[in-house]
A and B are shown apart, each in its own frame.
Chain A
Amino acid sequence: MGAIVLAQEGGGVARRRLMGVALALAIAATLGGFLFAYAPNFFSVRNCLNVLIQGSSLGVMAIGLTFVMIVGGIDLSIPATMAFAAVLGAFVMPVWGIMAGVATMLVSGLAVGAFNGLAVAWFEMTPFVVTLASMTVIGGATVWMTNSQSLSDFPDGFFDLFLSAPAGVPVAVLILAVIAAIATLILSSTAYGRSLYAVGLNAKAARLARAPVEWLLFSTYAISGLLAGVAAVMLTARLGSASANLGSDGVVLDIVTACVVGGVSIYGGAGMATGAVLGALFVTLISNSLNQLGVSYFMTLVVKGIAIILFIWIDRISGRASR
């Protein structure tokens, strides 16, 4: 994980990566030890595949957050948007077909993202509170629309499509891979991607160099909304149902943790999609392994809360050095 990230950025951030990687490996090793002793099932092919599939929707959302974090923002509304998109799609699909349902999920995610982007870029509101507010409103809307029920009226074709595994690779993982590849390409090799990093590093300098700062900010929130929509598709296919519960508090933390562990800086200007994906896998691994070890859901929350503070701390002490 560290090697890929290192190769794509200047050497100055090497120290931070190394520390982050070291910490992640340390945690993984510790867990691995416990797992080997107490829950050898963890290492079965089935479980590993499971982790991959579970992690792919998280990974997609983490990629969305990566875009936002690179320009120095944050988006807390991603899980809520995902649940919202899932529910809207669940209404549409039985009536107008699979494609319409999927399209609805994508478009509604995009719409929420666009709204956030508008507020942050042009109304100059603080990203944290804007996305907090939209998270609350969207979450409430989802509960209202479903009357706190869960929707599961999906046509079989939907599952056939999204749960299949061409050549043995589950579709969910394929989707993740494709999105990760596109995101990596955009971020590392397009003018747009470069501009995002520039805005995150130094918005003044970016503006001076004629970058359209407002549009760039706006676009990142739109993208994270869109990817939340994609995650909605993946998750509803896997779970077979859509409800407001999809977007609970814990998921927000997971996404942020995934990005921070994956080397995306909370201060902006650094991070790669591949890092976010690896971070998402790491988080899923933690959840899965703690689960296998019989640790309660609640304790898992505690572990994650502590982990995020640790990784942010590393981000900070090395982030300051490289600026």
Chain B
Amino acid sequence: MTAIAQGTLGHWFTRNGFLLIVIALFLFFSIVTQHFASVANVLAMAHTMAPLVIIASGLALVVFTGKLDISVGSIAFLSSAIAVLLMHDAGVNAPLAFLAALVTGALLGALNGFVVVFLGINPLIATLGSMIALRGVALQLTNAILIALPESVRGLGNATIGGVFVDVIIAAVILIVVHVLHRRTVFGRRLDAIGNGEDNAIRIGIPVPQTVFLSFVASGFLASVGGLIGLLQVGAISSYLGKGMEFTAVAAIVVGGVSLFGGRGTILPGVLLGAFAFTMIANGLNQMSADPYAYKLVTGGLIFIAMYVDALRTRRLRRIPIRPPAQAAS
């Protein structure tokens, strides 16, 4: 299997393969259905994709350090639930409620960060635990029923400016900000540095604990942003909000070229493309009236290939290029 990837074609494919796949998928759906490639549909996909792409970008920040945060869906859910409950039960006005949600998201992220960094617990298990516990709290608070948003804000989710959905604009802005944060700030560079090898990072003098902690806070915050956008789109809080979102987010960033081993990948175009790929598949399959399971199958297969490629690529790149053999006479 490795032999395939070692050829130059294989090499090119592992670096750019997913762009190819995204294009191929787009073409496929455009041909097979009637309305897929229309401007309206693309805009609709962008709209649907907004919460996912925002949450995924936050998650990516954690993944750049080589760690994982699978509680993002639950954080999105809980912070949105809090916003709704504040408005619904306590009559708090919308902006304040949304602010509360964002603060909650950051705090929950900080909680994750605390458990991972200062208690030293394996991030997989720590965020697995918080994923389930936080969802439990949110379900408890909402009693798992549907609670509608107050009239005043219910329509916000579908507001448009000049034909473009507002939340698409918000998502675009956020993506750009997070991208710049990743590539052009010291904090962002440190994330990649840690992902390249925590021991090396410590040797170089990077403040690893603080940086990792902050990445979790950012992930929690962005999860709450995505959650709010999702809430607004639906117009009500339901127990389906964010459910399974963490897995889709992980899948989106892996397919988008972010390595789970850390230190590698981009927000733009990586995470954007990955999120788009999944949204495209859902939308396209839907338009084909295909079986709902087909979505799971295709995405599952896609994740698998992406991970395999990731593992291959990381293994290959970790081996230093072979130098010419030692010569007899120097």
Contact = CB atoms under 8 A, between A and B. Distances in A.
B52 interface: no
A252 to B, nearest CB: 8
B132 A298 contact: no
Interface string B118-158: 01111011101111111111011000100000000000000
B262 to A, nearest CB: 12
Most chain B beta-carbon neighbours within 10 Å: one of A129, A130, A256: A129
Contact of B133 (A74, A141, A143, A304): A304
A125 B124 CA distance: 15
Contact of A308 (B129, B140, B254, B307): B129
Contacts of B1: 123
Interface stretch (A57-65, A131-139, A200-208): A131-139
B207 interface: no
A10 B144 CA distance: 48
19 contacts: A123-B308, A126-B260, A128-B68, A130-B307, A133-B251, A133-B300, A139-B296, A143-B292, A143-B296, A250-B132, A298-B139, A299-B140, A304-B132, A305-B134, A306-B129, A309-B119, A309-B125, A312-B126, A316-B120
A129 B247 CA distance: 10
Interface in A119-161: 119, 123-126, 128-130, 132-134, 136-137, 139-141, 143-145
Contacts of B40: none
B122 to A, nearest CB: 6
Most chain A beta-carbon neighbours within 10 Å: one of B136, B300, B303, B307: B136
Which 4 residue pairs spanning A and B have beta carbons closest together?
Answer: A305-B133, A140-B296, A144-B293, A301-B136
Contact of B119 (A130, A143, A302, A313): A313
A314 B121 CA distance: 10
B297 interface: yes
B277 to A, nearest CB: 15
A132 B125 contact: no
Nearest to A249: B132
B138 to A, nearest CB: 8
B159 interface: no
A257 to B, nearest CB: 9
Q: Interface size class for chain A?
A: 35 or more
Contacts, number: 121
Contact of B124 (A74, A123, A139): A74
B311 A124 contact: yes
A300 interface: yes
A266 interface: yes
Contacts of B303: 133, 136
Contact of A256 (B125, B130, B295): B125
A295 to B, nearest CB: 10
B128 A298 contact: no
Q: Interface size class for chain B?
A: 35 or more
Contacts of A304: 132-133
Contacts of B139: 297-298, 301
Contact of A298 (B137, B251, B304): B137
Contacts of B131: 249, 305
A322 to B, nearest CB: 16
Interface string A98-136: 000000000000000000000100011110111011101
B304 A133 contact: yes
Nearest to A308: B129
B298 to A, nearest CB: 10
Contacts of A313: 119, 121
B275 interface: no
A252 B293 CA distance: 22
B121 A316 contact: yes
A253 B124 CA distance: 12
A310 B268 CA distance: 38
A146 to B, nearest CB: 10
Contacts of A134: 300
B296 A141 contact: yes
Contacts of B119: 309, 313, 316
A250 B122 CA distance: 19
Given A136-B247, A305-B133, A266 B293 contact: no
Interface in A72-114: 74
B86 interface: no
B140 A312 contact: no
B183 to A, nearest CB: 25
